[in-house]
Chains A and B, each alone.
Chain A
C-alpha cells in the first residue's frame, strides 16, 4: 500500500497545481460571464508573464519584488490592449466571432514570443529562497510550493472581496447578468469589460511566473495546455461561476496529480488524457458543472 507521507505528498502537489489552475480559471470565467467568450488567448498571458519575469529578473537583474510587480503590470496592460484591439469591435456580433478571434490572438502571441525569445526552452531560476527544501513530517516540498498556494489563496480572497464589496465588483456581476440593464443604470460596460480583462490577465501573468518557478523551465508554448486546462476547470466548476472556477481548478489539479501518482507506472504519460476524460464525463453527466446556473451551457 501507499505510505501516508506519499499520499500527503501527492495531495500537496495536487493543491499546488490546482492553485495555478484556479487562478487561470478565475480570469477566464469572469470574462466568460460578461462576454460569453471562452478566451483561449488567456493561456498566452501565462507565457507572456513567465517571459516577462524571466527577462526582468534573470536577464536585467532587477530585484525580485520589482520583477513580480512588473509582471503583474505587463499582464494587466496586455489584457487591456487585447480587449481594446481584439474584442471591443466584435461585441454585439456573433459569439463565435469572438471565440475564433481569441484563438487567433493566442496564435499571434505565441508566435510573437517564439520570434522574440527563439523556440528553445529556458531554465527558469527564481530567487534561491524559493528553492529551499522543506521537510514536514516526511513530506518534502520547496518554499515555492508554499508561495504558490499562499499567494493564490490571497489573490482569490482579494478577488472575492472585490466582487462582493466594491461598487465596480458589483457592477461586474450585474453586467454578467444583463449588459442592457447594466447600461440602463449608467454602468460603462466597456470599462467593466476592460477591468475584467486587466485583472484576469494580470493574474494569468503571475501564474506564468509560478509555473516557471515550480517546474524550472519555460518555453514559448507553455501557455497552451495551461489555457486549455483552465477551460476544463471552469467547465467542471460551472461555466461563468467565480466560486465554481476556483473549485474546478483545485479538483482538476488534484485529479491530475493523484491519477498520475497512484496509477501504475506508465500511466503518467496519460495525464492529459485523464483530464479530458474528466471533461467528457462532466459534460455528459452534469453539463452545468458544480456551481453552474441552468442556462450556462
Chain B
C-alpha cells in the first residue's frame, strides 16, 4: 500500500534520514521504533508531506506522491496524527472534527461523526467545549478523531502514548485495535517499544537516521542488541 524507497532527508545541511526504505501492507499495523532523535518523526512527516525528501520516492497505492503537498495526500487517504497532537486549541471539539472531513463532499460525514463519537464517547460530551481546555488524553483522542474524519486508508500515528498516563495509554491502544478492525492500515512511531510490540504485525528499528533492523516483533525482540537498548536487557 505504501512504499518508501531510498529517501534522504536533510534539515539544511544536517542529514536526518539516510537511504530509508520501508513498506506498509494493507490491513497491517506497522511500527517504527527507535530512540529520541533517531528520525522517526521525520520519517512520518515525510510520508505525510510536511517535509520533502532530497532524494528517493514515496508511492501510495501505486501512485507516486513524492511531490504532492500534505493537503493533497490527505485527499488520497493518508492522515497523520502529529506528535504533540496539534489540535486546533481555540476551536471547539466539533469544529475540529468537522475540519477533519474538510475535503469531503460525500453524504457520509455525519455517519462518520457518529462513529467517532461512539469510538470516543468523551468527545460527544465535550462537543461544544474549546479543545485547548481538555486534558492531554482527551486531546489525543480528539487528534485521532479528527484524523479519522478524513476517512483515511492509511493512518500515521506519531508517538500516540507520549506524555500520557499509563491507563490512558492502554485506552489509546485499545482504540488503535478498533481502528484496525475498521479496516484502516496503521503506521505507528513509538518510543514505548512494549506497547508497539503488542499491536504491531511488523516492526522497523531506526537509529541515527537509518534503519537498523526489521521483522515481526518476536523476531526483532530476540535480537540481543535491541533487547539491551530498549527493554533494559
Partner of B103, one of A173, A180, A181, A186: A186
Partner of A187, one of B50, B79, B82, B102: B102
Residues of chain A with a CB closer than 8 A to B100's CB: 185
Which residues from 161 to 178 on chain A have a C-beta closer than 8 Å to any C-beta of chain B? 167, 170-171, 173-174, 177-178
Closest Cβ–Cβ distance, residue B195 to chain A (whole Å): 23
Do A187 and B71 have beta carbons less than 8 Å apart?
yes
Closest Cβ–Cβ distance, residue B78 to chain A (whole Å): 10
Which residues from 70 to 118 on chain B have a C-beta closer than 8 Å to any C-beta of chain A? 70-71, 74-75, 79-80, 82, 86-91, 95, 98-100, 102-103
Task: Assess whether B163 is interfacial by the CB under 8 Å rule.
Answer: no
Do A167 and B102 have beta carbons less than 8 Å apart?
yes
Do A181 and B98 have beta carbons less than 8 Å apart?
no
Given A170-B91, A173-B88, A177-B88, A186 and B82 touching (CB < 8 A)? no
Q: How far does the alpha carbon of A178 sit from the alpha carbon of B102 in the complex, in Å?
A: 15
Partner of B69, one of A171, A174, A183: A183
Residues of chain B with a CB closer than 8 A to A185's CB: 74, 99-100, 102, 146-147, 150
Do A171 and B89 have beta carbons less than 8 Å apart?
no
Partner of B99, one of A170, A180, A188, A189: A170
Do A180 and B102 have beta carbons less than 8 Å apart?
no
Residues of chain A with a CB closer than 8 A to B91's CB: 170, 173-174, 177
Do B98 and A186 have beta carbons less than 8 Å apart?
no
Mask of B205-221 contacts with A, CB within 8 angstroms, 1/0: 00000000000000000
Do A177 and B89 have beta carbons less than 8 Å apart?
yes
Residue of A nearest to B49 (CB): A183
Residues of chain B with a CB closer than 8 A to A186's CB: 71, 74-75, 102-103, 150
> Which bucket holds chain B's interface residue count?
20 to 34
Given A183-B69, A185-B100, A173 and B90 touching (CB < 8 A)? yes
Partner of A170, one of B80, B98, B147: B98
Which residues from 180 to 229 on chain B have a C-beta closer than 8 Å to any C-beta of chain A? none
Closest Cβ–Cβ distance, residue A122 to chain B (whole Å): 44
Closest Cβ–Cβ distance, residue A183 to chain B (whole Å): 4
Closest Cβ–Cβ distance, residue A181 to chain B (whole Å): 4
Do A184 and B98 have beta carbons less than 8 Å apart?
no
Residues of chain B with a CB closer than 8 A to A173's CB: 88, 90-91, 95
Partner of A174, one of B71, B74, B82, B88: B88
Given A173-B91, A174-B88, A178-B86, A184 and B50 touching (CB < 8 A)? yes
Given A184-B48, A185-B74, A189-B71, A171 and B90 touching (CB < 8 A)? no
Q: How far does the alpha carbon of A183 sit from the alpha carbon of B91 in the complex, in Å?
A: 16
Q: How far does the alpha carbon of A254 sit from the alpha carbon of B11 in the complex, in Å?
A: 51
Residues of chain B with a CB closer than 8 A to A167's CB: 98-99, 102
Residues of chain A with a CB closer than 8 A to B70's CB: 180, 183-184
Do A174 and B99 have beta carbons less than 8 Å apart?
yes
Do B75 and A178 have beta carbons less than 8 Å apart?
no
Q: How far does the alpha carbon of A174 sit from the alpha carbon of B71 in the complex, in Å?
A: 14
Q: How far does the alpha carbon of A177 sit from the alpha carbon of B96 in the complex, in Å?
A: 12
Q: How far does the alpha carbon of A167 sit from the alpha carbon of B104 in the complex, in Å?
A: 11
Closest Cβ–Cβ distance, residue B107 to chain A (whole Å): 15
Residues of chain A with a CB closer than 8 A to B69's CB: 183
Q: How far does the alpha carbon of A185 sit from the alpha carbon of B146 in the complex, in Å?
A: 8
Residues of chain A with a CB closer than 8 A to B103's CB: 186
Closest Cβ–Cβ distance, residue B73 to chain A (whole Å): 8
Given A167-B98, A171-B99, A174-B99, A183 and B88 touching (CB < 8 A)? no
Q: How far does the alpha carbon of A173 sit from the alpha carbon of B99 in the complex, in Å?
A: 11
Q: Which of B69, B87, B88, B100 has the most CB of A within 10 A?
A: B88
Give the interface of A toward B (CB within 8 A). Answer: 167, 170-171, 173-174, 177-178, 180-181, 183-189
The 4 A-B residue pairs whose C-beta atoms are closest, nearest first, are: A186-B74, A183-B70, A181-B86, A186-B103
21 contacts between A and B (CB under 8 A): A170-B91, A173-B88, A174-B88, A174-B91, A174-B95, A177-B89, A180-B70, A183-B49, A183-B50, A183-B69, A184-B48, A184-B50, A184-B70, A184-B74, A184-B80, A185-B74, A185-B147, A186-B74, A186-B75, A187-B99, A189-B71
Given contacts A181-B87, A184-B48, A186-B103, 14 further A-B contacts (CB under 8 A): A171-B99, A171-B102, A173-B91, A174-B88, A174-B91, A180-B50, A180-B82, A181-B86, A183-B70, A184-B50, A184-B74, A184-B86, A185-B147, A186-B102
